[in-house]
Amino acid sequence: ACSMHSTQASCSKWSTCSWSCSGSSTCSPKCGGGTICESRSADTCDWFSSCSWGCGSSSSSTPRRRRTVTYFCAGKLSGSYCSGDHVVTCGTGSSNAISSTYCSSGKCSEFGIRSASCGTASFCAGKISGKHCDGPYLKECSAASLAEASIVDCRDAGCSEGGVGDAACGTARFCMGKLSGKFCDGAKTVKSCPGNELVEVCRGSVDCQEGPDVGVATCGSSTFCIGKSSGSHCDGPYLKVCDAGTITSSKYCGSCSEGTIGRAECGTTNFCMGRISGSHCDGNVMKTCSGSSPTMQQFCDGSCVQAAGAAEAGCNAVLASGISGGADGATRASEVFVCMFAFLWLLLC
């Protein structure tokens, strides 16, 4: 026998649901666990505005909008390409990019076949093996290749050459005479000695600070974690993890916010609460959500792009999304399937 369900608790798949044995039935999908809309936020429930059917009669659906997702690497062969001021590396047979690198100088150059790089095209041509400066980029060249073996964006630290094939972000040969540890090479650069390796370039108005011990340096306050509880905290635009008064990790977020003590996030606190598992854009921060907390947080230098209606996001123009009205054949077929499923569900109630 049919029964009346008027409360959300007893009709968990829908926001409103009513029917009778002899009459018609109408169910409005709820964004939050329903068959039609699995997402919990209204802006990502974009398949239907309504879906109605009769007991044993007919079914119909009204598409509100259709999501479209365009992948930069779709149809491209394996290699690296310029997409605006980003170098995008594509793999064979996949629409997803392997990586996307932001060029801080705004210059991406393509050369050869499916080859691209920040800075000058074919920069390593004619150069001896070693590290060289290409503007703000530190490039490691091999005499046997036109392309660099590795590239580091020195950003505000700049790149300098101590000799032919001996270049570094910040000051070349900075670590000469220094003990092992981390030190400030100017206001913006954290270096690890004795290898003169770049640890981090401080972003925005934040500078490098040393102390309290020799060989300790970080962007922001080097004594930040002293007196703080173990967990994550905001030091300006940096998300820092503290453990027993020591900074164990530091991440640039663009913006950082704190919720409960020891629980800070890049971007917005509690962003993942109520969102389905997947990747989402929180402003210019891409977050991977699983449960109430992000499992990954990454600041996007260029922009974060969210696929409309999907728990899928990407940094730096790798993913382009749009919304279009109407429905194609595949969409209509899925609409009919959903409504048929709902009709069978009503018969079994």
- Who's near 295: CB < 8 A, 6+ residues apart? 288, 289
pLDDT in tens, 154-169: 988 899 998 888 999 9
Average pLDDT over the chain reads 74
Task: Name the percent of the chain lying above pLDDT 90.
Answer: 36
Label residue 319 by pLDDT band (50, 70, 90).
low
> DSSP 3-state assignment of 96?
coil
Q: What b/e readout covers 192-219, taking b as 16+ CB neighbours within 10 angstroms?
A: bbeebebbbbbbeebebbbeeeeebbbb
With residue 118 as reference, give the H or E element that holds it: strand 115-118
Residue 337: count of CB within 10 angstroms of its CB? 12
Task: Give the span between the Cα atoms of 6 and 15, in whole angstroms.
Answer: 10
Q: How far apart are CA 304 and CA 284, in angstroms?
A: 5
As a whole number, mean pLDDT of residues 231-248 equals: 93
pLDDT in tens, 178-217: 999 999 999 999 999 999 999 989 988 899 999 889 999 9
Mean pLDDT of 246-272: 91
Looking at residue 106, its pLDDT comes to: 78
User: What is the DSSP-derived secondary structure letter of residue 155?
Assistant: G
Please tell me the pTM assigned to this model: 0.62
Confidence (pLDDT) at 309: 62
Q: For 19-50, what is each residue's pLDDT tens digit?
A: 333 344 444 443 333 333 333 333 333 333 33
Average pLDDT over residues 65-76: 65
Best CA proximity match to 137, nearest among 157, 164, 116: 157
Lowest mean pLDDT among 71-85, 208-222, 264-278: 71-85
How confident is residue 264, by pLDDT bands cut at 50, 70 and 90?
very high
Following CA atoms 217, 223, 226, 229 in sequence, which dihedral angle do they give, to the nearest 10 degrees? -70
Q: What does each C-alpha distance from 71 to 74, 124, 187 come to in angstroms?
A: 5, 31, 39
Residue with tokens 């259709």: 66
Q: Are 303 and 289 contacting, i.e. CB atoms less than 8 angstroms apart?
A: no
